[in-house]
Structure 1
Amino acid sequence: MEPILAANADLAWMLAAFVFVLLMFPGLAFFYGGMVGSKNVLNTMTMVLSTLGITAVLYVLFGHGLVSGPSINDWGIIGNPMDYLGLTNWMTDDGSGSTQTLYFAAWFILFAAITIAIVASGAAGRMKFSAWLVFAPIWLTVVYFPIAHWIFAADGDGFSGGFMLNDLEIVDYAGGTAVHMNAGVAALALALVLGARRRRMERPHNVPMTLLGGGILWFGWFGFNGSCALGASFLTQVVILNTLLAGCAGMIGFCAIERWREGHATSLGLITGSVAGLVGITPAASSMTPLGALLVGLFASAAVAFLLSFKSRLKVDDTLDAFAVHGVGGMIGTLCIVLFAAESAPAGVQGILFGGPIDIVWRELAGIVITCTWSFVMTWLIAKGIDKVMGMRVDEETEIAGLDTTIHAESAYEIPAAGVGHVPGLSNTAVPRTSTTQSATTEPTPAH
């Protein structure tokens, strides 16, 4: 069932929030692109950005029905794809300005696309782009659309929605399950199928680029969380404030753990901590007071920082840490609801530390377990199947040379420094690359 917006002013805020969320795609592309080596930056960014095109096509054809359509046989498992097939029955304006189905279709496209974009973390630097273009639509159809139906489709008059929202009654404000836990666990499964990179300890090639991407993501997050309030209201104010506070506290939590365990705090850690805090508050934004939001940001980022401090000892190469940041961060945010959600917050949920009902524990834990199990098992099966049919991973020569030039025939840093390679009077003549120019495009020295 579609949510209903109360007034045109609400729709105006939602349209503005839509633009904020759209900016998360270049934000994530920059965030991820800066963390890989310079030979794979364009490939990584292209994987992220391509998800928007893939998702839009699927969603218009059948995805909106699977997510928002009436649940088939009232089981709460998957929506009826025929209900919104091609969105062809939703092109009539009643003149009141209240027609909203098309807006919500566009809104859910962005939520779905950013989820599969996060999954690219498990494949960076070693997956065939052709295999990614096959993997993404299958994953959306088999993994994301069902989970989104479980958590986003509410019951209505003569309408049966998803079982996690309506039967389990789990608290998940803006997609801690369907988006963050789902994407993080899927990235882990994909990384297991692909195996580790041959140059696993490669340093991030452009930290300022990652900082820029993280800042754009934070900007977009106000639209991501704020739009789930379905209008310009007091709830919107609470959610936006809590989103700000959790991101800020995330900086502190991550840097504190980094300083304690590693002896220094880094700029990369600072922005990673902010994103971890934002992930943590996503399911809990409507359930927390401002003080609670600070605690969510601290706990989520500290847990992520502690986990990442052991990354070099793990055999799984989740290249851009989606499992830690999004998977674990989403779980911590959900557990914070269980512990200290405040009844005075708009959601009206009370955590067990404040005397809340004990059944909130098993409901939220069931949501975590069901989401993570479905996401991991199905992602692993999809990846294994594609690997058997067409192969998922590039060959060793391609991987070492870098995917930018070998797959996309492009280089992110091909422009030479001023004067280098220029011969007066021969501006159109190809000049062999000098050693100075070459040094500008070499990979950073591995960390170990």
Structure 2
Amino acid sequence: MKLSKICRMQHVAVIGGGIIGLTSAYELSKHFKVTLIEKEKDVCLGTSYQNGGCINVEYIAPVNSYLSFPSVLKSSLLSLVSNSSSNTFFHPKAILEPNFLLWLKHFFSNTSRERILYHSEGMKQMGAAIQPLMEEIFDELELDRLQHNFKYTPGLRLHINPDPKAEISRNKELFDQILEKTYLSGTELEKVKNNSGIKNIDNYNLGYLEPRDITVNTRSLGLSLKEKLTERGVTILQDEVLKYEMKDAKINAISLKSGNMLQADLFVVAAGYGSNSMMKQLGIKLPLMPIKAYSLHKSKSKIAENWKYTVNIDSKVSGLFTPYKENKDSFGLRVTGIRDMNGNDPTMNKIRLNHLIQVAQHFTGEDWKSDQVETWCGIMPLSPDDFPIIGKTEKYSNLFLNCGHGFRGTAWSLPSARLLSQILISSETFCFQPEFASPQRFGI
């Protein structure tokens, strides 16, 4: 691998070994000497471990356009009192999380029509960059597509709406000026439902089809990236950052838990929600909300062989179903869902997990309590405007961020990494406009 003549002598330390950190290291290793630091025993054991693996190329609705706090508080109260299911659950202890009020302030400041459309445009630009970058990395690293479940799998969203025509009209009026979507109702929707392989969706009367979506196994891709990066000379350390050594608005080195000191020219923090605590000791407040999501993965799923879409089914607990072709003869199905706003608490709530299991069983007709089902939950770092934070910090001249990807880490990992690399090498061109992701929008 040939290094850029300008940057090849500079050393970049990337903190975080999830899919964001790994893709950052991949892009930066084309221009710099790179060291990747991950505190877990292996890469992609956090949020990247068992996420949906669905890459929504065409989904451009920021969280500010659909997350209603009054509705969330109401459903959360009912859930606390009666153990009833709810898609998004808010617990009062979330208020105690660092920077919660800062996050809330920026969240509400981005709920206007103007701001929603602004970020929808950014999502469209990022979505357009995903497919060519995904093809590029698989070709360049000669990765096996079947092994990583990399395939073009159309996306389908199903809803029950009292007036689907009015809802379609509202969405077209708001979002079609950014990216025209395919809406389904009536006879068209019935055809899609009948060929989908999904059970118990007769009463769903509104659909959104995203024909250019992609699936990929994030954990598998992360392990391959680790192997390929090592072959290319990237140093990967299983260690934890304890302290930063600073001087004159610049970071000179980081102290590690192993007792070692790592010196570098540039530092990139790509540690998911863990980036929050890392920035705190540097006097930087990151407006990130920890969202706990759950997932189930069923191997040897009979229904998955005939599953035509990655499908998000709206119910009291919405489920995102992603089909997996695990080998030539075996199919799997992954179901992700639930959003818990209860602070940085990685503990699995069995009641919430069972709500997702019930959804999985309802729409597949299969047993999701068998020993063939792997369960997981993890913390996702959601920014206030549903867009990642990528770029240089104002306080430190050699400190860069790549975090806050929320529910779209896998989808946005490659465009984010490419943009970060372009910023570090002072490129004149970018894969999407850097202003959308700039840390300066939050005063960072």
Instruction: State the TM-score, normalized to the length of structure 2.
Output: 0.28
The structure richer in helix per residue is 1
Q: Which has the larger radius of gyration?
A: 1
Q: Which has the higher contact order (CA 8 A, sep 6+)?
A: 2
Instruction: State the TM-score, normalized to the length of structure 1.
Output: 0.28
